[in-house]
Structure 1
């Protein structure tokens, strides 16, 4: 079966070996392709799965995409423990090693500039959610009508207005908290990216997303950053704060979607 060269990331040479059991796409072990003082982390993948037509079909296969993304991120995560990688986009493939070297030469200045800017830095993700249970209780919080006297239409409308007002106040509190948290975190980060709020139906996350941000933080200040996020959780009544990372700087390379 004809194979293509899949590229996970580009980085500078590093001395620490990758995990011996590390595997990438399709279970193939990643290899290091050195060229012009840079390293492309690659493995061989079947052309039948990664040629242009096959990829178009695979884009409709969510299970295939999820498995491929997990394998891609697994290699990048392993690299992040030993160096500063620049993750390339999912399914970046070339005909052979010679084509990978040509790509490195064409983008060498860009890669070096990014590696200098991101050296010894990692990405942390922070999300804030309004808890689903809290939102639902606010929406359904209507006083029960008196058993001795049924509620009138006027009573019903009043209760609906009160419920709507309670929900509005809840969202305003959530937005104020998220804004204040972001300002504090941005002061501790070197850069940040505010991503669109996640759609709960697509992400599967519980609750309504009100902050979806990525922060670029130096490794030496990461512990302080994490402690700050943890402290704010005590202030987040009715909200859920999620911290993820440390990741390779996906949101700050211009190469891969976060």
Structure 2
């Protein structure tokens, strides 16, 4: 959808959190939203209802928002406040959450734009009714050390027989530090074996990921495969081979949890299940 970008300082704008059906309207008592001192309220859209809040336009200019993007604590505060409102509404009725910082210059402008999208909102609401979003991540088994030989990385202890330069070591001073015959070939062989083992583990992990995805898809109404997180992210050193999200009917939640538990036991893989969440991933571009 097209969002307005308020520019004039001192004026107000309308922040829109979500859209739900008009039946009764959700209870919004105690929800603060992103603007302190302004109530979170409803905006009628015919057979739909938008969840909105009046905000200071100067806090949401392009410049202000770009500055906020570099302030992680402040950005997180806005994201949490936005999500809190969406979660409260979604707990009461099927809800289409809108992206963070969806704003319009006035109520009539918001009503016009959102009203024109009513057919798409109804389609999304029909899709997600009585469903929740669940995340499933699968991780590859830990790879062996880079050298492929943990013993070789242990420091030598002075005085130990067989340590160069200590009593009991054969050879003359000029032999010290010289690799044993065939050491280079042995090292290359270890490296080749390590790479082969790593590749087998990766292939096995990818097969497990496909098995997990296939099994969970049988329970889900629809699914999305996301880009796996790489090493160095919040997931640490583990290699992620599946990062997917699934729209699952509420009455099948316990079945999903049992399935993931069984898949862990059968495959021995590191499988993480998260949820249930508001189905952000399945409401489409609205």
Q: In the alignment, which residue of structure 1 is the partner of 2:53?
A: 43
Return the alpha-carbon distance in structure 2 between the equivalents of residues 144 and 105 of structure 1. Answer: 69
Q: In the alignment, which residue of structure 2 is the partner of 1:248?
A: 278
Return the alpha-carbon distance in structure 1 between the equivalents of residues 27 and 198 of structure 2. Answer: 51
Q: In the alignment, which residue of structure 2 is the partner of 1:167?
A: 198
Uncovered stretches (5+) of structure 2, i.e. residues with no partner: 1-9, 153-160, 164-178
Q: In the alignment, which residue of structure 2 is the partner of 1:126?
A: 136
| Greater helix proportion | 1
- TM-score when normalising by structure 1: 0.86
Return the alpha-carbon distance in structure 2 between the equivalents of residues 140 and 117 of structure 1. Answer: 51
- TM-score when normalising by structure 2: 0.78
Contact conserved, 1:14 with 1:83, CA < 8 A, in 2? no
How many residues are matched? 251
Return the alpha-carbon distance in structure 2 between the equivalents of residues 24 and 235 of structure 1. Answer: 44
Contact conserved, 1:3 with 1:45, CA < 8 A, in 2? yes
Deviation of the 1:138 alpha carbon: 4.3
Return the alpha-carbon distance in structure 2 between the equivalents of residues 62 and 164 of structure 1. Answer: 39
Q: In the alignment, which residue of structure 1 is the partner of 2:257?
A: 226
Label 1:236 to 1:49 Cα distance change in 2 as closer, same or farther (>3 A): farther
Label 1:235 to 1:46 Cα distance change in 2 as closer, same or farther (>3 A): farther
Deviation of the 1:15 alpha carbon: 4.5
Contact conserved, 2:33 with 2:85, CA < 8 A, in 1? yes
Label 1:157 to 1:254 Cα distance change in 2 as closer, same or farther (>3 A): same
Label 1:198 to 1:40 Cα distance change in 2 as closer, same or farther (>3 A): same
- Which entry has the higher C-alpha Rg, 1 or 2? 2
Deviation of the 1:199 alpha carbon: 3.1
Return the alpha-carbon distance in structure 2 between the equivalents of residues 139 and 235 of structure 1. Answer: 28
Deviation of the 1:66 alpha carbon: 2.5
Deviation of the 1:24 alpha carbon: 1.7
Contact conserved, 2:20 with 2:95, CA < 8 A, in 1? yes
Q: Where does 1:40-119 land on structure 2 (aligned, <5 Å)? A: 40-119=50-129
Q: In the alignment, which residue of structure 1 is the partner of 2:213?
A: 182
Question: Is residue 52 of structure 2 the alignment partner of residue 22 of structure 1?
Answer: no
Label 1:155 to 1:119 Cα distance change in 2 as closer, same or farther (>3 A): same
Correspondence for 1:215 among 246, 254, 269: 246
Uncovered stretches (5+) of structure 1, i.e. residues with no partner: none
Q: In the alignment, which residue of structure 1 is the partner of 2:170?
A: none
Contact conserved, 1:16 with 1:82, CA < 8 A, in 2? no
